Amino acid sequence: MQVVIDSVGFSYSDKNREVTHVLDRCDLRVESESVHAIVGPSGCGKSTLLRLLAGLEKPTRGEIRFVGPRRHAQVRALVFQDPTLIPWWTVGRNLGIGIEFDEARRGLYSKVRDFTAQRVGLGRLTDRLPGTLSRGQQTRVGIGRALAYDADVMLLDEPFTHLDALAARQLREEFETHWQLDPRTYLLVTHDIEEAVLLADRVSVMSRAPAHIVETVEVDVARPRTADALTAPGARAAIARIWDVLDRASQ
C-alpha cells in the first residue's frame, strides 16, 4: 500500500492561544512494499508526522491518503519509541492485544500470538511480565505487537533509539529479515543517518519547524543487507548526500 502525504500542515494552540506551526506544506510519497526513512533536526516534527499518519492527530491542512489494495486486516500500525507495554499483562497478551479486541480475528488469537512470539524471538518468554525483560526484549514485544496487528503500513518512531549498540545491530538485522519475509510498507523515523541508510530504500530529510520535506535520497544498495552494507559505495554516497542536505536544512 502506497502512502501519499499531500501538502500537509499541522499547527496547535497553547492555553494562551499562541499558535505553533509544526509542519507546513509537507509532501511525500512512500512507495508500496518499500522501507522509507525520515531524518531531520531535533524537534522538527518527525514524530508529529507519524502521529498524523497513525490517525492520532489530524492535519490542519492538506491530505494523507493510503492508496492501493488492502492485503492485511488493518491499514496502519504504529511502533512507539517507548514500547508502552501493559505492565500487568504477560508478554503473550501484550503481543496479542490487537487480536484480542478484534472480533473478526479473535478465533485466531492463540495461533497469531504464538507465531508472532516465535517470529520476534520471544517464544519462551510469553508468560513473563514486561518488567522482567531487558530493554531489547521489550522493544521486540513492541514490534511484535504491531506485526500481530497485521497492517499494510508499519510506522516506526525511533524504535531502536534506547538500545545498546549490540542489541540495536541485532534488531536491525532482524528487521531486514522480517521485511524480506513479509515486505509491507514501512515508514521509519530515526535520528541515526547510518541506520536510515542501512534499513531504507529512500531517505527523506525534513527542514526545521515549520517543517517540510527538503529532499529524498535514493539508497542504491542491494537487499538483503547486513551491517557491512554501510561500506558499499551506494551507502557511502547516500550518507554523504543526506549529511549535506541535513546541514542545509538545519540552518
Report the share of the chain in percent with pLDDT over 70: 94
Q: How confident is the model at residue 148 (pLDDT cuts 50, 70, 90)?
A: confident
Cis peptide before 210 (omega within 30 of 0): yes
pLDDT of 99 reads 63
Q: Does 33 score more than 90 pLDDT? A: yes
User: For the chain, what is the mean pLDDT?
Assistant: 87
Question: Do 109 and 96 meet the contact criterion of CB atoms below 8 Å apart?
Answer: yes
Q: Is residue 195 part of a domain?
A: yes
Q: Does 112 score more than 90 pLDDT? A: no
Q: Is residue 112 part of a domain?
A: no
37-57 residue pLDDT tens: 999 988 889 999 999 999 999
Which CATH number do you get for residue 250? 3.40.50.300
Q: Is residue 205 part of a domain?
A: yes
Q: Does 111 score more than 80 pLDDT? A: no
Query: 65-96: b or e for each residue (b if 16 or more CB lie within 10 Å)?
Result: ebeeeeebbeebbbbbbebebeeeeebbbbbb
Instruction: Provide the whole-model pTM.
Output: 0.87
DSSP assignment string, 93-106: HHHTHHHHT-TTTG
Q: Is residue 98 part of a domain?
A: no
Q: Is residue 177 part of a domain?
A: no
69-95 residue pLDDT tens: 888 778 998 888 777 888 998 888 888
The mean per-residue pLDDT over the stretch 111-131 comes to: 81
pLDDT of 100 reads 64
pLDDT of 78 reads 87
Number of domains into which the chain is organized: 1
Q: Is residue 152 part of a domain?
A: no
pLDDT of 198 reads 94
pLDDT of 84 reads 82
Considering only CA atoms, which of 203, 59, 80 is closest in space to residue 149? Answer: 80
Residue-number span of the structural domain to which 19 is assigned: 1-72+187-251
List, in sequence order, every beta strand (DSSP E) within 98-146.
Answer: none
Q: Is residue 62 part of a domain?
A: yes
Q: Is residue 27 part of a domain?
A: yes
Cα–Cα distance measured from residue 183 to residue 206, given in angstroms and rounded to the nearest whole number: 25
